Amino acid sequence: MTITVHHLENSRSQRILWMLEELGLDYSVKRYERNTKTMLAPAELKRVHPLGKSPVIDDDGQVVAETGAIVEYLVEKADGRLGPLGHRESVLRWRYFLHYAEASLMPPLLVKLVLGRVPLFGKAAQKRIQPMIDVHLDYVESELASRPWFAGEEMTAADIMMSFPLEAARGRAGLDKDRPATIAWLEKIHARPAYRAALERGGPYAYA
């Protein structure tokens, strides 16, 4: 059976399309547009999952939500491909960055995005959150300066998970040429054939 990806424009779900392309798994895309005023997902997504969020996949009746959970599900489905590498240190790094992307890196980026839409006090508040983001960006830079991929010498699902917050940071939170290892990593993933194929399947994506 073909996996159905419930894909919201300009969202975390772009990573799932990329992963499916890297794994060579058959899938179809059901695309959803954001509300132009609120930028929220449409109510239609609640028919797929009670929270009405994306990404969600449907694999022959098995519905899986949350990006990290979907990524682990797909690694298992693909017999471990893009999963943790052999030695202990790489396995721990794989697991760490798989969760760090959403648990630690994404929250301050999201706060800055929300504050940017708040009139009057939003810009002042953004200045207070930026130093917190810079701590994360400096940490990521130091990690990527020491090895080509987040878990080690090969690309894994950890890199796929880290893509969205770093793409968002480049567009909105100060990630630029002053952190060359991170920028080089972004350029490297954007050049991958599977990444480009995922863009074609998913439609316009503001962060590539």
Confidence label for 11 from pLDDT (cuts 50, 70 and 90): very high
Residue 11 contacts residue 168 (beta carbons within 8 Å): no
How many domains is the chain built from?
2
52: CATH: 3.40.30.10
pLDDT at residue 118, rounded to an integer: 72
pLDDT digits over 122-166, tens only? 677 778 899 999 999 999 999 999 999 999 999 999 999 999 999
pLDDT digits over 102-130, tens only? 999 999 999 988 887 777 666 777 788 99
Q: Please check whether residue 53 lies inside any domain of the structure.
A: yes
The mean pLDDT value for 66-70 works out to 97
Same domain, 92 and 169: yes
Domain that holds residue 107: 88-192
Q: Please check whether residue 207 lies inside any domain of the structure.
A: no
pLDDT digits over 38-47, tens only? 888 989 999 9
Give the chain as a DSSP string: -PEEEEEETTSTTHHHHHHHHHHT--EEEEEEPPPTTT-PPPGGGGGTSTT--S-EEEETTEEEESHHHHHHHHHHHTTTTTS--SSHHHHHHHHHHHHHIIIIIHHHHHHHHHHTTSTTTHHHHHHHHHHHHHHHHHHHHHHHTTSSSSSSSS--HHHHHHHHHHHHHHHHS--STTSHHHHHHHHHHHTSHHHHHHHHHH---TT-
Same domain, 102 and 59: no
Q: Please check whether residue 208 lies inside any domain of the structure.
A: no
* This model's pTM is above 0.75: yes
pLDDT at residue 39, rounded to an integer: 80
Same domain, 26 and 103: no
